[in-house]
Chains A and B, each alone.
Chain A
Amino acid sequence: MGEVIVVTSGKGGVGKTTTAANIGTALALMERRVVLLDADIGLRNLDVVMGLENRIVYDLVDVVTGVCRVKQAMIKDKRFNESLFLLPAAQTKDKTAVTPEQMKKLTTELKEEYDYVIVDCPAGIEQGFKNAIAGADRAVVVTTPEVSAVRDADRIIGLLEASEMPEVQLMINRIRPKMVKRGDMMDIDDIIDILAVDLIGVVPEDDKIVVSTNRGEPTVLDANSKAGQAYRNIARRITGEQVPLMPLEEEVGFMGRVKQLFGFGR
């Protein structure tokens, strides 16, 4: 029996889709069988981030309304040997085309056969959110180190607790170590302290995310990307491994050391 994990946030643009794509791909790299389920009906994105947009025939709404079978709508990612699949969102319908009961039935069916079902949640706290969390065993709440994103994460965590989500964990995205160091960005402890929630991982700001999204190749496939490394660690933690947080500080170059020596340029 697999696990259904919803990636959610409240605020838009904090990195839910990027996170769903990378965690799913990292789990597939670890030879788990994974379904990526795009629940952002009307604003389909996961297909593009995964580079699978040209292969869509059927979508989530077709599946729940019985237009096609689940297997017909699932797109196999050929980079992985029968281990990574995408179930795309509908683009022309809206969020009310699916009900929480239908979602729960679908994810329950999927986790019979797959190890992980990763659900990409839309922004907001309305029907789309309720659909996305309906069948989930665990929620990963994504935030960035900003007042508005943390505030929305707090609201979402409250709603998840009220709906009795078995496990809720926080992922902090787009941390910039230099800004944290000079006191211009909240750090991990500040945010955990405020939200009082377990941490699943921290992903640094990384230009390679943009490059890999341009190409339609998740960043975890890039061995040299810090964000990719962070996502691979998160995937390992999801499978139950104990993995320490990686150091985010960049190496201070020679000039940096000189400046530090003279006490300026922090």
Chain B
Amino acid sequence: MLDILGRVFGRDDAPSKEIAKERLRLVLVHDRATVSPQFLELIKEEVIGVITGYMDIDEDGVEVSIHSMDKSVALVANIPIRRMKRAVKAV
């Protein structure tokens, strides 16, 4: 019982400011990315530019988005491949 109370009030955990900092870091990654949809569009364009050098992709099908999970935030790109170029094998 005492143990549970200790945990609820964070006595065994990191100092609460560390928790605050970590939560802020995550929320701001998300906020800052969502503030400008142009930002994601920019990344998408550049990713397409890089990938097309190696494979034939469906450019209209490319999706770039920000996903927040429990303890991290990820940039997720979904890039449908139409065909691999032969050169890729040689690399």
Among B35-58, those with CB < 8 Å from A are 35
The interface residues of chain A, by DSSP majority, are classed as helix
Do A151 and B31 have beta carbons less than 8 Å apart?
yes
A-side residues, CB < 8 A to B, are 146-147, 150-151, 154-155, 158, 180, 182-187, 190, 194
Docked-complex contact A147 and B15, CB < 8 angstroms: no
Check B28 against A151 for contact (C-beta < 8 Å): yes
Asked if B32 and A154 make an inter-chain contact with CB atoms under 8 angstroms apart, the answer reads yes
B17 touches A147 (CB 8 A): no
Task: Check A194/B31 contact, CB under 8 A, given A182-B15, A184-B16.
Answer: no
Which bucket holds chain B's interface residue count?
Answer: 10 to 19
Whether, in the assembled complex, B71 has its beta carbon less than 8 Å from a beta carbon of chain A, the answer is: no
A147 near B16 with CB under 8 A, answer no
- The closest CB in chain A to the CB of B19 belongs to A147
Q: Is B24 an interface residue (CB 8 A)?
A: yes
Q: Number of contacts between A and B (CB, 8 Å)? A: 37
Tell me whether chain B's interface is mostly helix, strand or loop, or mixed.
Answer: helix
A194 to B21, CA, bound (A): 8
Are B18 and A158 in contact, with the CB atoms below 8 A?
Answer: no
In the docked arrangement, what's the CA distance between A81 and B75, Å?
59
Given contact pairs A183-B15, A185-B17, A147 touches B35 in the complex (Cβ within 8 A): no
Contacts of B35 in A (CB 8 A): 155, 158
- Tell me, rounded to whole Å, the shortest Cβ–Cβ distance linking A163 to chain B: 13
In the assembled complex, how far is the CB of residue B52 from the closest CB belonging to chain A, in whole angstroms?
Answer: 32
Interface string of B8-23 (1 = CB under 8 A from A): 0000000111101101
Whole-angstrom CA separation of A147 from B31 in the bound complex? 13
B17 cross-chain contacts in A, Cβ below 8 A: 180, 183-187, 190
